[in-house]
Amino acid sequence: MSYSSCKLTTYSLLFLLLFGIAACQDAPKTIPGVTGQVVLGREMLMSDKASRIVVLAYETKHYDETTKYLKEDATPLAKTTISELSSPPYPFSLDVTQTGVKVFLMAFVDQDASGGDAPTSQDVYGFYPADPANDTPILLSGYRLENIEVTAGEIYKKPALSVDVSLATNITLENAAKKIIFGVWKTKDINTEMQPMAQRLPVLQQEITDLSKARWKFEVPPGDASDEVIPFAYLDQDNDGTFSKGDAYAVWSDKPINLSQVFEETISLTIKLVYEP
């Protein structure tokens, strides 16, 4: 082989190598995220005023298994909006920047065009997976997850009661303290000292394990007309999972609240009493 042909071959290989590198650099990159569609559940209708469908991704820690809804401090990792509502199903493409986390999706129909990133009264919503607390979540990776179907089959109802809970300055967290427990008890299950009776279960109970804040908010969903309740919150100082000696607490001392009606004002409970049986 002559010197000129070797030189030509070398240049050809160099050209192909550089061209290949450039082609790889110019190739479209897969954007992590989720692609799928939203469908309405049975008997769910879209109102004439409906302006959009919102799809959001939340970390699994933001789902409240007790209320079957988002926790109060839930912040979405990503969001996309569907504005073309002429015919179902409603396709969406959700891009994410954070990977390596487990998430669930929530989709809701903005029935009254009120705006915002959360359902309001009468909006239709749903989750994927359907039960974020127990079903396998979505693991966000460098690849795009496709063909996900979110069914919006629930009607959002405004909470019957919103409660702000705070810790008084006279209460010191014990080393064992890990959580604040909030619940609403039926009046017949509260004793004359305004404390829950032993072995009586609340209508609803929620836990907060992040004790670094100064205030916590709880929401109570609507209930039956017979559910006249008294809100009660306590700091589980010994982390035994029960209301026991030494725990600090607060109780609603006004008239009982009927969960079949919306209590418009947020009530406040300040944990400042110590249980000494």
How far, in Å, CA of 169 to CA of 263, rounded?
Answer: 28
Q: Quick one: tokens of 3?
A: 């010197």
50-64, 196-210, 258-272 — which one is most confidently predicted on average?
A: 50-64
**Residues above pLDDT 90, as percent of the chain:** 61
The CA dihedral of 125, 127, 133, 137, to the nearest 10 degrees, is -160
Check if 33-155 and 161-274 are the same fold.
yes
Q: Give the pLDDT band (50/70/90) at residue 24.
A: very low
Domains of the chain, residue spans? 33-155, 161-274
Phi, psi of 10 (to 5 degrees): -60, -45
Q: What is the mean pLDDT of residues 261-265?
A: 83
Q: What is the mean pLDDT of residues 92-120?
A: 94
Q: Please state the three-class secondary structure of 13-58 as a single string.
A: HHHHHHHHHHHHHHCCCCCCEEEEEEEECCCCCCCCCCCCEEEEEE
Q: What is the mean pLDDT of residues 94-118?
A: 94
Task: State in words which class domain 161-274 has.
Answer: mainly beta
Q: What is the pTM of this model?
A: 0.67
pLDDT of residue 25: 46
Strands 257-258 and 228-235: antiparallel
267 in helix, strand or coil? Answer: strand
CATH number of 33-155: 2.60.40
Q: Give the pLDDT band (50/70/90) at residue 11.
A: low
State pLDDT tens for residues 70-97.
987 899 999 999 999 999 999 999 999 9
Q: Which residues pair with 94 in a beta bridge?
A: 34
